[in-house]
Chain A
């Protein structure tokens, strides 16, 4: 399988705490993307980090990328109950294809 791995598979925290999710992938990449999926819905794009970037911020989201370790992390700061969802990383391999290789996801529960 070409799929990457996220860890943890599930994470439960209290509102206001930070949530960190990790992702590992297998191939050389052009970029890595993070998506969110609410229960029963499709995926929604959150943030993209290019292979030549090490860190990127968007609002309460912080993404890091370590291409030497083929890993990325997503940090959500000051979490809210509305952040409860599954989070997926998706790696775009180097080359001309527009395909993405998705990880298996982390299910985040934020308790009020």
Chain B
């Protein structure tokens, strides 16, 4: 099993361009998450999806949209990229059995630079 797969691994955009980051998991998990990681800031939640068909804002949702395409896939879209969105983006998933005691499984990230 691959776990959580993110594509692409690296991307350079110009200010104003749009882009979709892809995430897929093969563990039959219900919940999926998008984080950004900036130096000295740890991980901050952008959006999450508790189950197929639902999405909710996290701590830093401005400038992003998400789509939970099906149970496996959760995409993150930047409609008009800004330099402040330069970051490493991580997707994660968890079984979400309602107990909150399941760990999150992470992909290896997408390194995004916006010029």
Contact = CB atoms under 8 A, between A and B. Distances in A.
Chains A and B belong together in one complex: yes
Given A98-B50, A98-B94, A42 B107 contact: yes
Contacts, number: 63
Interface residues of B, number: 28
Interface in A28-83: 30-31, 33, 40-45, 48, 50
B58 interface: yes
Nearest to A3: B42
B26 interface: no
A48 B108 contact: no
B101 A31 contact: yes
B101 A50 contact: yes
Contacts of A97: 50, 100
Given A3-B44, A48-B101, A98 B96 contact: yes
Interface string B97-115: 0001111111111000000
A99 B42 contact: no
Interface of A: 1-3, 30-31, 33, 40-45, 48, 50, 88, 90, 92, 97-105
21 contacts: A3-B41, A30-B101, A33-B103, A40-B108, A40-B109, A41-B108, A42-B107, A42-B108, A43-B43, A43-B106, A44-B106, A45-B105, A90-B43, A97-B50, A97-B100, A98-B31, A98-B50, A98-B94, A98-B96, A99-B33, A100-B104
